[in-house]
Chain A
Amino acid sequence: MAMKKKEATKVYSLKKEQQRAAAVMMTPLLITLILLFLLPVLLVLIMSFTNWSMTTTTRSYVGFRNFLFVLNDGRFWKAFGNTLFYTGIKLVADTGLALFIAVLLDKKIHFRRFFRIAHFAPVVVPITASSLIWLWFYDPGIGPLNQIMSWLGLPSMQWLYSEKTALLSVILFSVWKGLGYNVILFLAGLQSIPESYLEAARIDGASERQVFRKVKLPLLAPVTSFIIMMGIINCFKVFTEVDVMTPNHGPLESTLLMVSYIYDQSFTRGKMGRGAAAAIILFLIIFVFTMLQRRLGRKEVSFD
């Protein structure tokens, strides 16, 4: 009886000790989460319903006026359209090319390490510095791209300096920048396919093309959906490269994207209420895709 009681107090005190330790060790994390996440999210919600501005001090409740303004703003829809265009083109180019290169890299070839390093290098390099290199590439007068075009017998282009090609130029840059990331993901996916599956298909007389289409591609489905979903989410967050390469949203605002629009409203024009409303709309779009991505399968951390 006494033993049991002693045991019980021991368990009890162990529990207490754990709770005390957890309180101490969780505190910094909770402070950062409250300060950098909870408080800002609450504030942005409040701001979106006020005429909060950087230039004036009057802050009054305006109901849904900011949301109505944003949803009736031609520039917002232009930014939305541009972002969709950006996402569509980048995703198709990126996913297709990445898969193709990953399949090639999956073969037993020489210089594999070199090829991997080369394709991944642009991912590693900070965006600003690499955008600045491409800024020169795209210079219509003294840039190397137009020189290459003339070697190939193609007409020279205005690249970032024409409304027709500015956004495409940014997309081309970001495909170069992000390709290696998807290559590595696809490659990891390909290499995790058990050799026995492939052997079995080959013994049954499948050609390499059939092996790819009927065995590898279906088994890559989780990786592919991850890449596409993350790709969409990340495309909606693009800011740095467009801001560096086309500082004023490009010719006729042809490179105005969602984040640039929000940034422009909140910080350039100082209309933080409108910016906040637009930010919430963007959040909702990203949220839908995030939920879809999680639905399509990813392991959850469990405490069991």
Chain B
Amino acid sequence: MSKHLRSRYPFTTLFLFISAALMIFPFAWMLLSAFKTPADVYNYPPKWIPSSFKFTNFAEVFKKIPFIRFYANSIFVSVVQTVLQIWISAMGAFAFAKLDFPLKKKLFAFMQSSLFVPEIVTIIPLFLLAAIAGLVDTYTGLIVAELNCAFTTLLLLSFFQTIPNELIDAAKVDGCGYFRVFLKVILPNSKTAIGTASLFAFLTHWRSYMWPLIITNDVKMRTLPIGLKYLVTETGTEYQVLMAASLMAIVPVLVVYMFMEKEFVQSITLTGLKT
């Protein structure tokens, strides 16, 4: 059977191999180049395989920029943002999906309309507000301004609607208040949806660029995407060091992606994460 299949589409398979190789090539280049010596890089023609596999470039990264600090900032900010955003969204989504209250439709439309407005529009006044509130170069400033909950709320809302009302009624008969229903019935029954929404939120925050660029000036407050740029200089970027840093920035994401491919694909395609 398998032989039959392989011989049936030899060109398709060949083409896909070439195309897949092109897609992966930049990562392979980065991986190899992270080990190159300056001589390998500036050699003409450039060397593709490093002459030795030493970790000098990685050490160089830590010498040149506060890489660990950038990493820690990114992790801290993205994790706090994700937790807050999912918590706020889940509560709101529960209210929209299962509770009856005045102005519900109006509030829903209000939330939906926030999705129409691109980041660059709100970022100008947000910067002013943050500056007035003294939030420049603070974690609060980094975290709060990007708690855009509308999308995650919609995502969770459409899932919460599929939870049968009988489950909620049963808990109510047992004397639970709505908040307990939320904690004990809704959340445990929507682990997948919460996981998808969290992954989406985390990826969005992890790659966030424009807001962290504007709201931080202090090197110590920079997040990873901005911090990496310190390695690019007009006088001549040391590419091998840059690649070592990029590698360390990318690998955790790639590893998790390879293990959770389905979840990644789902959370990105379902939600239309900006590519």
Query: Please, how many angstroms separate the alpha-carbon atoms of A109 and B229 in the complex?
Result: 41
How many residues of B sit at the interface, in one of the four size bands?
35 or more
Q: Is the CB of B102 within 8 A of A19?
A: yes
Please indicate the chain A residues that have their CB under 8 angstroms from the CB of B229 in the complex: 128, 132, 244
Q: Is the CB of A47 within 8 A of B120?
A: no
- Knowing A36-B126, A118-B23, A135-B237, the reply to whether A21 touches B95 (Cβ < 8 A) is yes
Query: Please, how many angstroms separate the alpha-carbon atoms of A180 and B91 in the complex?
Result: 33
Q: Interface-forming stretch among A67-75, A190-198, A211-219, A277-285?
A: A277-285
Q: Is the CB of B264 within 8 A of A124?
A: yes
Q: Kindly report which residue of chain B lies nearest to residue A44, judged by CB atoms.
A: B125
- Knowing A107-B9, A144-B46, the reply to whether A22 touches B242 (Cβ < 8 A) is no
Q: Is the CB of B121 within 8 A of A33?
A: no
- Knowing A25-B91, A104-B15, A240-B210, the reply to whether A133 touches B177 (Cβ < 8 A) is no
Residue B13, interface by CB 8 Å: yes
Q: Out of A133, A143, A283, which one reaches B121, CB within 8 Å?
A: A283
- Knowing A110-B6, A121-B23, the reply to whether A40 touches B149 (Cβ < 8 A) is no
Residue B136, interface by CB 8 Å: no
Q: Out of A26, A43, A142, A144, which one reaches B128, CB within 8 Å?
A: A43
Q: Out of A110, A177, A185, which one reaches B5, CB within 8 Å?
A: A110
Q: Is the CB of B116 within 8 A of A287?
A: yes
- Which A residues are within 8 Å of any B CB, using their own CB? 15, 17-19, 21-26, 28-30, 32-33, 35-41, 43-44, 47, 101, 104-105, 107-111, 113-130, 132-137, 139, 142-144, 147, 174, 176-181, 184-185, 188, 230, 234, 236-237, 239-240, 243-244, 247, 259, 262-263, 266-267, 272, 275-276, 279-280, 282-283, 286-287, 290, 301, 303
Please indicate the chain A residues that have their CB under 8 angstroms from the CB of B108 in the complex: 301
Q: Out of A26, A136, A143, A236, which one reaches B91, CB within 8 Å?
A: A26
Residue B254, interface by CB 8 Å: yes
CB distance from A123 to the nearest CB of B (A): 5
Q: Interface-forming stretch among B26-34, B57-65, B187-195?
A: B26-34
Q: Out of A122, A276, A282, which one reaches B23, CB within 8 Å?
A: A122
* 4 nearest A-B pairs in the assembled complex, by CB-CB distance: A29-B92, A21-B178, A43-B125, A118-B20
Query: Please, how many angstroms separate the alpha-carbon atoms of A302 and B150 in the complex?
Result: 16
Query: Please, how many angstroms separate the alpha-carbon atoms of A42 and B274 in the complex?
Result: 25
Q: Is the CB of B114 within 8 A of A180?
A: no
Q: Out of A184, A286, A301, which one reaches B269, CB within 8 Å?
A: A184
Main secondary structure of the interface of A (DSSP, over half): helix
Please indicate the chain A residues that have their CB under 8 angstroms from the CB of B107 in the complex: 26, 30
CB distance from B113 to the nearest CB of A (A): 8
Please indicate the chain B residues that have their CB under 8 angstroms from the CB of A23 in the complex: 101
Please indicate the chain B residues that have their CB under 8 angstroms from the CB of A115 in the complex: 16-17, 19-20
- Knowing A30-B107, A43-B125, A147-B46, the reply to whether A129 touches B239 (Cβ < 8 A) is no
Please indicate the chain A residues that have their CB under 8 angstroms from the CB of B246 in the complex: 129-130, 132-133
Q: Which B36-65 residues sit within 8 Å CB-CB of chain A?
A: 41-42, 44-46, 48
Q: Is the CB of B250 within 8 A of A126?
A: yes
Q: Is the CB of A37 within 8 A of B26?
A: no
Pull 16 A–B residue pairs with CB atoms less than 8 Å apart, ordered by A: A21-B99, A25-B99, A29-B91, A39-B125, A41-B122, A117-B257, A121-B23, A124-B257, A128-B226, A129-B246, A133-B27, A142-B44, A142-B239, A147-B45, A239-B209, A272-B124
Q: Which B207-255 residues sit within 8 Å CB-CB of chain A?
A: 207, 209-210, 213-214, 224-226, 228-229, 231-232, 237, 239, 242-243, 246, 249-250, 253-254
Query: Please, how many angstroms separate the alpha-carbon atoms of A301 and B109 in the complex?
Result: 11
Please indicate the chain A residues that have their CB under 8 angstroms from the CB of B119 in the complex: 237
Q: Is the CB of A110 within 8 A of B2?
A: yes
- Knowing A117-B261, A240-B209, A262-B120, the reply to whether A230 touches B272 (Cβ < 8 A) is yes
Query: Please, how many angstroms separate the alpha-carbon atoms of A284 and B129 in the complex?
Result: 24
Please indicate the chain B residues that have their CB under 8 angstroms from the CB of A286 in the complex: 116, 118
CB distance from B95 to the nearest CB of A (A): 4
Query: Please, how many angstroms separate the alpha-carbon atoms of A283 and B48 in the complex?
Result: 45
Apart from A120-B265, A122-B23, A181-B275: 20 A-B pairs, beta carbons within 8 A = A37-B122, A40-B122, A41-B122, A113-B261, A115-B19, A123-B268, A125-B250, A132-B246, A135-B242, A136-B242, A144-B48, A180-B23, A236-B118, A237-B120, A240-B210, A243-B209, A244-B229, A263-B120, A275-B124, A276-B124
- Knowing A21-B99, A129-B225, A244-B229, the reply to whether A237 touches B118 (Cβ < 8 A) is yes
Q: Could you say which of A111, A117, A147 has the most chain B C-beta atoms within 10 Å of its C-beta?
A: A117
Residue B73, interface by CB 8 Å: no
Q: Kindly report which residue of chain A lies nearest to residue B111, judged by CB atoms.
A: A33
Q: Kindly report which residue of chain A lies nearest to residue B20, judged by CB atoms.
A: A118
Query: Please, how many angstroms separate the alpha-carbon atoms of A180 and B269 in the complex?
Result: 10
CB distance from B187 to the nearest CB of A (A): 12
Q: Is the CB of A18 within 8 A of B232?
A: no
